Structure 1
Amino acid sequence: MSDYRLTTVETVRGAGSWAFTAREGDADREVFLVPCADEPDGEGENSDQPVRAWINRCTHEDQRLHREGVGAVTRGGSVVCPKHGSAFDACEGACDNGEAAGTTLRSIDVEVRGGAVFLTDDDLTYLYEGLPDDDGDDEGPGSSSHLTF
């Protein structure tokens, strides 16, 4: 079983999101963490899992949701796709609006113990913090969203 210490809940909350790269079979996967608990002190209905981990791709189009230097755009408990504005629930991964409506982000198993976040997904092996360079996509996507960031 994979059980790698990634970061702390405090770091994820402070930055708004946190990303790492992992190996699944022969492929590298980008993963990002976002806060999930309802209250900053970890109280509320989701306090048992104060952060969630998701594959770093919009379900509508092969688009990063977390970008280096920017992080994941979040609003009202949702992660927003910077290209089309679809909003994914940060705790459940489900989308009920925009181009990705009716889809759910792929979750990655993590556990919080003593304020630290551990990768516990048997299918992934941690490689490094952050995302790989991706041949010039650092400027971000062209947006067709009605939302401005």
Structure 2
Amino acid sequence: MALAPDSRITSLDAVPADTTYLFTVRDDEGDRREAVLVRTEDGVRGWLNYCRHLLDVRLDKGDGAPMRDGELVCANHGAYFEADTGYCTFGPCDGATLEAVDTTVDDGDVYLTDEDYTFVESGPMDDGDDGPSNTSNVEF
């Protein structure tokens, strides 16, 4: 499969081992969404940037989401998601799974290869407002 140059998200070296790399995609309907890259034992995985407990709460609020022992942490709810599977192992959404965004690593770069999304830019959405809420009314 040939990788389109405009689907390149970043270099593999730019994806941190202890937090997330935030980027913006556009879905098939033209809506922008945020996604994150996380390091795994086997490489890198991509996930949409929201907690499965309350979908308006971002995992990465712009400065990287917390990671602990190979799991992505929702700082609002305390939920833990396995970096490689997206499966929630602890918290109010225990048993739920993050929504995957397909990526491929090729020659030291990370590419978006998900047919449902188009790469827009690195970093958070710039939609003219504050994007998804970075706080919530915590409900457990």
Identity %: 35
Give the structure 2 partner of residue 17 of structure 1. 20
8 Å CA contact 1:2, 1:122 repeated in 2: no
Of the candidates 1, 7, 26, which is equivalent to residue 10 of structure 2? Answer: 7
Report the Cα distance in structure 2 between the residues aligned to 1:136 and 1:23, rounded to whole angstroms: 17
Q: What is the TM-score normalised by the length of structure 2?
A: 0.83
Give structure 2 stretches of 5+ with no counterpart.
Answer: none
8 Å CA contact 1:84, 1:143 repeated in 2: no
8 Å CA contact 1:53, 1:110 repeated in 2: yes
Report the Cα distance in structure 1 between the residues aligned to 2:73 and 2:112, rounded to whole angstroms: 24
Give the structure 2 partner of residue 54 of structure 1. 47
Give the structure 2 partner of residue 67 of structure 1. 61
Give structure 1 stretches of 5+ with no counterpart.
Answer: 38-45
Q: Secondary structure at the match of 1:10?
A: helix
Give the structure 2 partner of residue 97 of structure 1. 90
Give the structure 2 partner of residue 106 of structure 1. 99
Give the RMSD, CA atoms, in angstroms: 2.4
Of the candidates 92, 110, 122, which is equivalent to residue 129 of structure 1? Answer: 122
8 Å CA contact 2:9, 2:121 repeated in 1: no
Q: What is the TM-score normalised by the length of structure 1?
A: 0.79
Amino acid of the structure 2 residue aligned with 1:21: T
Deviates more, 1:78-87 or 1:12-21: 12-21
Amino acid of the structure 2 residue aligned with 1:141: T
Alignment of 1:120 with 2:119, yes or no, is no
Give the structure 1 partner of residue 39 of structure 2. 35
Shift of 1:132: 1.9
Amino acid of the structure 2 residue aligned with 1:92: T
Report the Cα distance in structure 2 between the residues aligned to 1:82 and 1:96, rounded to whole angstroms: 15
Aligned length: 133
Amino acid of the structure 2 residue aligned with 1:34: V
8 Å CA contact 1:7, 1:118 repeated in 2: yes
